[in-house]
Structure 1
Amino acid sequence: MTRDTRTRLLEASAQLFREQGYAGTGLKQITAAGGAPWGSLYHFFPGGKEQLGVEAVAHSGSRYLRLFDLVFDRAEDDVVRSVRDFFQLSAEALHKSDWADGCPIATVALEVASTSEPLRHACVEVFASWRESIARRLAGAGIPEARAADLATYVLCAFEGAIVLSRTDRDTRPLRVTADIVAGTLGAELPG
């Protein structure tokens, strides 16, 4: 059993949680999707599904954070363009997946916030890392730190809400409309 097996289990879990939720995903389904033997699941995750869920949330959260950083870096530190591009990429991914590929963190968070403290805490940590990254980028663009932190919360809330509506409506319009409003709001906050 290699480290690759562990990673495959984390990625399979994240994908299945994103598509069908935490409760709707079985351990046998995860091992099959990860191409891993059954025994490897408890070898790598002796705490069972909850431990796997916590680690899958953290794994997904860091992957999405790297994607955000990549999008931001490509936009050459233009926060308005970065946010617009990230919303657009998300709209494309959601449409391409036939509306199944929502946010892996929000999907789990909505389901377990009242039932699993370890999973809720894992989601809190991921959302906090995303907000901190957004706030840091906004502050780097000249927005005062306290205001940048508030705006980061706004950006994340708008994004997550737009994902939910687009996925539910099976239409990218909520993401596109929200991207325009968020971009306009951020543009108005930038100095000069």
Structure 2
Amino acid sequence: MAGIGDSGEPGKSKDMRGGRGANRDTRGRIMEASGDLFRRNGYTGTGLKQIATEAGAPFGSIYHFFPGGKEHLGAEVIRWSGAMYLRLFETIMDAAPDVLTGVHDFFAGAAETLRETGYADACPIAAVALEVASTNEPLRQVTAEVFGSWIDAGTERLAGSGLSRETGRMLMISMLAGLEGAFVLSRALRSTEPVEVAGATAVAAVREALGRVQPDVARTPSSEEIR
């Protein structure tokens, strides 16, 4: 999951990056630069001097705003990025005429961002989680909190469409796991196909679940029809 793009129309894909510029104060620039670099280079592959340079900020300002150093900064960036991605999800779902279109649009936005950034920008939360899960317990806990908030929000959204909370939670976990895995494959293959396939699979799964409680739900639309 990343930042909200320009399009707010149903059926339109969204830019999934967290563009720099919304917050031009020094702390904001440091946060935004860190998020970009974690997404591209990973947590361990990103140095504080690199962050300061990217942010156009004095090196000492990092310790001014984040006295705990890189781990403190990393935790704040994970929480900030997680909240931003959650707003993106809610914005896309709110703009869509139905839950199937919303799920499609979310995955379509992820594919578009990968393509436009040369397969460099994916999910900074997953990038950090993969690196720190066995080596940094405080950061692991923060990534777990963010993933948990996404799962809870998606569960509520799907339950609101008529599904049980149990089914909604299962679907949301499946969609999130599919998206994060698809990011890895897409970056390695330099192809959006894995994200597109994961999206089509997610739409089909939600449609099937809805069909059990809403017999009049139409057949799963193709990507061309849903656009």
Residue 124 in 1 paired to residue 144 in 2? yes
Q: Which amino acid aligns with 2:96?
A: A
Residue 88 in 1 paired to residue 108 in 2? yes
Residue 141 in 1 paired to residue 161 in 2? yes
Q: Which amino acid aligns with 1:68?
A: F
Q: Aligned match of 2:185 in 157, 165, 177?
A: 165
Distance 1:177 1:150 in 2: 19
SS at match of 2:25: helix
Which has the larger helix fraction? Answer: 1
Identity %: 51
TM-superposition CA deviations, 1:72-104 (whole Å, max 9, x none): 01103x221111101100001011111110111
Distance 2:50 2:24 in 1: 20
SS at match of 1:24: coil
Aligned-residue RMSD, C-alpha: 1.2
Match of 2:32 in 1: 11
Q: Which amino acid aligns with 1:111?
A: E
Normalised to the residue count of structure 1, the TM-score between the two structures is 0.96
Contact 2:111 2:195 in 1 (8 A): yes
Residue 54 in 1 paired to residue 68 in 2? no
Match of 2:41 in 1: 20
Match of 2:7 in 1: none
Q: Aligned match of 1:153 in 173, 184, 206?
A: 173
Matches within 5 A, 1:70-109: 70-76=91-97, 78-109=98-129
Structure 1 position 162, deviation (Å)? 1.0
Match of 2:134 in 1: 114
Match of 1:32 in 2: 53
Q: Which amino acid aligns with 1:118?
A: P
Q: Which amino acid aligns with 1:106?
A: A
Distance 1:123 1:155 in 2: 17
SS at match of 1:101: coil
Distance 1:3 1:169 in 2: 35
Match of 1:63 in 2: 84
TM-superposition CA deviations, 1:32-60 (whole Å, max 9, x none): 11111111100000000001001111111
Structure 1 position 3, deviation (Å)? 8.3
Residue 45 in 1 paired to residue 45 in 2? no
Matches within 5 A, 1:165-184: 165-184=185-204
Distance change in 2, residues 1:89/1:3 (3 Å): closer
Contact 2:171 2:205 in 1 (8 A): no
Aligned residue pairs total 190
Match of 2:20 in 1: none
Distance 1:166 1:181 in 2: 16
Distance 2:67 2:24 in 1: 15
Distance 2:139 2:55 in 1: 21
